[in-house]
Structure formats: structure tokens, C-alpha cells
């Protein structure tokens, strides 16, 4: 059995689907369904069981997980970059993760967890080294702190521990995320509802809509996870991005091209985002490639049509 925490969420449910596509249905999904909309992410998936995140933690703390757990894919977290409750973020993103880490390493169960490119803050180098990490919001700090903890204990661990620093992931099964949905999803909805895509005016020395992000197709993020799952001898912290930053304008034009209509408008960056906004991200893939992962990543022009056709087919 494979455990996927956050398995009803965005990346988690895509991992469930990816494992299903490989014939794996002995899956325990762990999540918090207080937001009941997330059930839709699993409606076309096959799983063995579903457990609330608090009940699962009780199992872990009482050493009550069933025998035969092959791996834990820990995707569960508060991913709201604007969350201001530090105690909540530390409890959910840091303390919970530490407890799962220690359980898995004690039982020698492979532990693959979701980190984030947010740990790099407003820097210009995105390489998995401490000197380039400077989180600028609480969410990023919670992810950074757990990465640091993993680095300290990793030399003593005998089983696989893997942190994946996701860059700007987009794709199916994200609509429940509200304000935290991807630019691709928001652009699609804006075209459908208003015929116009709104992007931010220039920031950080970039012109209007020319801020650049490493936009990652969720299918590629799933592929990286599943490759490492097949290579339990690999441990460490790795970036998951395309290695090529693309502008918001490029993404918006890909959405417009798909629909065959629409225009762009530029709006001021909200004040609440000004001190925690990343105007540029681009994954350094040297570590990932050195680890042996060689598959290519989809560009915006390749993946946006796949995504929008999936959305329109729902």
C-alpha cells in the first residue's frame, strides 16, 4: 500500500491518478475534507481507503499503521502563501511533517514530501543550497524550516527521504484552491467569463506581464515523483521545474490562442502582495539531472492546450 497525504488536493490527487494509470490501486488517501469540494478530485480514481489527516496522525503516533506500507507521498500542507497564522502553519506544515518523517525513517519506509520554490524568496539563483534560500512569507518559511530539519537528520537515515521543490505547478484538479489556483486556471476562467485576462503591471524591473515564472505541468511533477519512487536509493532535496522561465504574457497568449479570442489588461499589484511577491523563478535542474532524471518537461505552449481541453471536457 502507498499512502498519499493531501491525496484529495491538487498534486496529491494527480499522484493518485498517475499511480492508478500504472495499475496501483492499493492507495490510502489522507486528507481533510472540511472543504467537501475536493471529493471531485478523486471521483475518477481508485483507492483502497480514505482517512482524515488527524486520524492518520493518531495512527502514526500510536504505531498503528498496517504492515506493508511501501511509501508515503506527503503532499498534505497549508499551501496558502498569504496565511498569516504562524502557529497554524508550523503545526500543519512543520510539526506534522516531522512526525511522519520520523515514523517513516524508523520503519524504513520511503518518504517523499512536497517542498516549494517559495523557499528561494526574491533571489535570482534557484539552486538547492542554503545560501540561495531566503523565504519572504510564512508559508515559505514553514517549508524552508522542514527542509533544514531534513538536511540535519539525513546523514543518519538509512531509508529514502526526498524533498521536491515544486515551482509554479498548474493542471487538472486544482479548481478547489480558490485564490491559490494557477495563473493558467485564472486566465481560462477570465476568458470564459469576461473575454479578458488581467495580469499585473510591471514589478521587480519587469515590464507589464513580463514577470517570469517556471510554470510546471502537473503531469511532469507526477512523473518526477513516480521516477523517484522507482529509485529508492536516491535521497535529497531537488527542484521540480522546467528549467526555463516563461512570462505571464506567454502563458496568457497560450490561453488566448486556445480559445481563439480574448485580450490582455494590466492591473496594479495588490498592496498585500508587494513584500512577498516573486517576479522571477527558474529552477536549476542540475541536481535533478545528476540524480538521473532525464525526461523532458512540457512548455507552456505544449501543456496549456492539454489543460484547457481537460477543463472543457469536465
pLDDT digits (tens, 9 = 90+) for 84-114: 889 999 999 999 999 999 999 999 999 999 9
57-79 tens-digit pLDDT: 999 999 888 889 999 999 999 88
Give the pLDDT score at 179. Answer: 86
Domains in the chain (CATH in brackets) are 2-167+218-241+285-296 (3.40.50.720), 175-212+245-280+302-309 (3.90.25.10)
Closest CA to 113 of 124, 101, 102, 130: 101
272-307 tens-digit pLDDT: 777 778 889 999 999 999 999 999 999 999 999 999
Is residue 107 flagged as an active site residue?
A: no
In sequence order, the β-bridge partners of residue 71 are 2
Is residue 185 flagged as an active site residue?
A: no
Give the pLDDT score at 80. Answer: 83
The catalytically annotated residue of 94, 103, 120, 139 is: 139
- pTM, 2 dp: 0.95
Give the pLDDT score at 314. Answer: 62
pLDDT band of residue 35 (cuts 50, 70, 90) is: confident
234-247 tens-digit pLDDT: 999 999 999 999 99
pLDDT band of residue 215 (cuts 50, 70, 90) is: very high
Please report which helix (H) or strand (E) contains residue 20, including its range: helix 10-21
What whole-number distance in Å separates Cα of residue 286 and Cα of residue 300?
21
The catalytically annotated residue of 177, 186, 277, 293 is: 177
What whole-number distance in Å separates Cα of residue 194 and Cα of residue 183?
16
Residue 173: left if φ>0, alpha if ψ -120 to 50, beta else—which one?
left
Amino acid at each position: 500500500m502507498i499512502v498519499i497525504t493531501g491525496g484529495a488536493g491538487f498534486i496529491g490527487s494527480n499522484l493518485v491518478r498517475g499511480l492508478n494509470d500504472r495499475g496501483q490501486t492499493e492507495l490510502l488517501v489522507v486528507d481533510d475534507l472540511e472543504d467537501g469540494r475536493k471529493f471531485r478530485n478523486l471521483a475518477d480514481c481508485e483507492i483502497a481507503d480514505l482517512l482524515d489527516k488527524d486520524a492518520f496522525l493518531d495512527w502514526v503516533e500510536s504505531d498503528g499503521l498496517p504492515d506493508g506500507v511501501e511509501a508515503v507521498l506527503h503532499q498534505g500542507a497549508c499551501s496558502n502563501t498569504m496565511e498569516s497564522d504562524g502557529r497554524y502553519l508550523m503545526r500543519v506544515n512543520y510539526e506534522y511533517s516531522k512526525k511522519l518523517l520520523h515514523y517513516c525513517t524508523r520503519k524504513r519506509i520511503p518518504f517523499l514530501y512536497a517542498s516549494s520554490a517559495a523557499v528561494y524568496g526574491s533571489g535570482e539563483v534557484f539552486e538547492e543550497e542554503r545560501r540561495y534560500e531566503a523565504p519572504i512569507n510564512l508559508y515559505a518559511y514553514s517549508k524552508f524550516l522542514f527542509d533544514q530539519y531534513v538536511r540535519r537528520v539525513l546523514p543518519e537515515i538509512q531509508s529514502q527521504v526526498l524533498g521536491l521543490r515544486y515551482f509554479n505547478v498548474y493542471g487538472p484538479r486544482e479548481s478547489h484552491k480558490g485564490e491559490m489556483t494557477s495563473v493558467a486556471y485564472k486566465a481560462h476562467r477570465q476568458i470564459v467569463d469576461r473575454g479578458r485576462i488581467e495580469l499585473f503591471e510591471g514589478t521587480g524591473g519587469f515590464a507589464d506581464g513580463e514577470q517570469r515564472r517556471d510554470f510546471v505541468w502537473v503531469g511532469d511533477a507526477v512523473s518526477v515523483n513516480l521516477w523517484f519512487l522507482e529509485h529508492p536509493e536516491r535521497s535529497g532535496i531537488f527542484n521540480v521545474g522546467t528549467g526555463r522561465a516563461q512570462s505571464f504574457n506567454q502563458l496568457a497568449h497560450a490561453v488566448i490562442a486556445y480559445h481563439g479570442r480574448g485580450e490582455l489588461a494590466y492591473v496594479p499589484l495588490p498592496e498585500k502582495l508587494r513584500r512577498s511577491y516573486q517576479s522571477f523563478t527558474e529552477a536549476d535542474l542540475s541536481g535533478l539531472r545528476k540524480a538521473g532524471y532525464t525526461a523532458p518537461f512540457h512548455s507552456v505552449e505544449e501543456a496549456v492546450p492539454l489543460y484547457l481541453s481537460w477543463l472543457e471536457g469536465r
